[in-house]
C-alpha cells in the first residue's frame, strides 16, 4: 500500500500534468459536468475494464486447471466423465 502511494506520488511529480488536464478537460465549460466526469464516469469505466481483465485472467486459469489431469495429461472434464461412466457400466455388468 505504501509502495502504491509512493509510485503515484512520483508519477504526479512529472511535469506536464496541468497541460494534459487542460487538453483533456479544457473543452468542458461547466465545472459541475467536469466534476461528474472525473468523479463518476471515468472511475466507472476504469473499474469495468479492470473487472473484465481480472475476470478474463481468472477464467483462463480456471479453464487451464480443468484441462490438466492429475497425471499431467491433458483431458477435458467431459472425457473424464465419459471414461468414468464406462468403467461404472462395466462394473455393474460384471456383478
Quick one: pLDDT at residue 66?
60
Report yes or no on whether pTM surpasses 0.85.
no
Q: Pick the residue with more confidence: 18 or 3?
A: 3
Domain count, the chain: 1
Quick one: pLDDT at residue 45?
96
Answer whether residue 2 shows pLDDT above 60: yes
Quick one: pLDDT at residue 88?
72
pLDDT digits (tens, 9 = 90+) for 36-87: 999 999 999 999 999 999 999 888 876 766 665 555 555 555 555 567 777 7
Q: Is residue 84 part of a domain?
A: yes
Q: Is residue 24 part of a domain?
A: no
**HEC profile of the chain:** CHHHHHHHHHHHCCCCHHHHHHHHHCCCCCHHHHHHHHHHHHHHHHHHHHHHHHHHHHHHHHHHHHHECCCCCECCHHHHHHHHHHHHHHHHHHC
Q: Is residue 21 part of a domain?
A: no
Domain that holds residue 87: 29-94
Q: Is residue 50 part of a domain?
A: yes
Q: Is residue 3 part of a domain?
A: no
Mean pLDDT for the stretch of residues 26-31: 90
- pLDDT band at 95; cut points 50, 70, 90: low
Amino acid at each position: 500500500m505504501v509502495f502504491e502511494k509512493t509510485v503515484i506520488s512520483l508519477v504526479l511529480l512529472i511535469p506536464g500534468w496541468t497541460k494534459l488536464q487542460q487538453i483533456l478537460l479544457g473543452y468542458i465549460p461547466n465545472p459541475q459536468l467536469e466534476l461528474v466526469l472525473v468523479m463518476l464516469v471515468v472511475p466507472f469505466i476504469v473499474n469495468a475494464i479492470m473487472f473484465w481483465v481480472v475476470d478474463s485472467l481468472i477464467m483462463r486459469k480456471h479453464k487451464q486447471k480443468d484441462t490438466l489431469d492429475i497425471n499431467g495429461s491433458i483431458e477435458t472434464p467431459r472425457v473424464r466423465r465419459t471414461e468414468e461412466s464406462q468403467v461404472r457400466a462395466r462394473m455393474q455388468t460384471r456383478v
